[in-house]
């Protein structure tokens, strides 16, 4: 099975605050899929985060009857992003912290893999990871 794109749908309390935060971190938004209820954050050419106001999240595409997790209290998902270097991990997480993110973990160095995590304004967990290319089997 092949897929073309990945869309991660995340509920947010204040869309403007969330967009401002991720803009400061360095992400851009696709205006074609952004309005007052939703913002399409571009992570890469084929990966997007749909940041959805909580009320809209309940009805977006496939309506959910489940309660929305309070990400400041529970973990519903950890969004992991790869980086090209340890420096890139540090740069992205530092930009997030300067933009108002809360630290989630200290940097973790396993030698072949390096990661660092933060919480966005809604409490969603984001982990930025670098893995030495020579350790990845093809």
- pLDDT of amino acid 138: 61
- pLDDT of amino acid 69: 87
* Whole-structure pTM value: 0.88
Q: How far apart are CA 12 and CA 15, in angstroms?
A: 6
Per-residue pLDDT of the chain (138 residues; tens, 9 = 90+): 767 899 999 999 999 999 999 999 999 999 999 999 999 999 999 999 999 999 898 887 677 778 888 888 998 899 999 999 999 999 999 999 999 999 999 999 999 999 999 999 999 999 999 998 887 766
Q: Which of 19, 37, 35, 38 is nearest to 27 (CA)?
A: 19
Residues 37-51 as b/e (b if ≥16 CB within 10 A, e otherwise) read ebbbbebeeeebbbb
Helix (H, G, I), strand (E, B), or coil: what is residue 68? coil
Q: Which of 89, 120, 91 is nearest to 104 (CA)?
A: 120
Helix (H, G, I), strand (E, B), or coil: what is residue 87? helix
- pLDDT of amino acid 60: 77
Q: Domains (ranges, CATH) in the chain?
A: 1-64 (3.10.180.10), 71-138 (3.10.180.10)
- pLDDT of amino acid 81: 96
Say if residues 120 and 72 touch (Cβ distance below 8 Å). Answer: no
Residue 101 DSSP class = P
């Amino acid at each position: 099975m092949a897929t073309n794109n990945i869309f991660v749908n995340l509920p947010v309390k204040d869309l403007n605050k969330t967009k401002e935060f991720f803009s400061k971190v360095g992400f851009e938004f696709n205006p074609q899929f952004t309005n007052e209820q939703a913002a399409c954050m571009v992570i890469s050419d084929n990966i997007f985060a749909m940041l959805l106001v909580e009320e809209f999240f309940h009805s977006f595409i496939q309506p959910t009857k489940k309660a929305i997790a309070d990400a400041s209290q529970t973990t519903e998902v950890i969004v992991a992003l790869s980086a090209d270097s340890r420096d890139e991990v540090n740069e992205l997480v530092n930009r997030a912290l300067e933009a108002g993110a809360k630290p989630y973990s200290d940097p973790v160095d396993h030698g072949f893999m390096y990661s660092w995590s933060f919480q966005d304004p809604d409490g969603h967990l984001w982990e930025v990871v670098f893995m030495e290319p020579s350790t990845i089997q093809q």
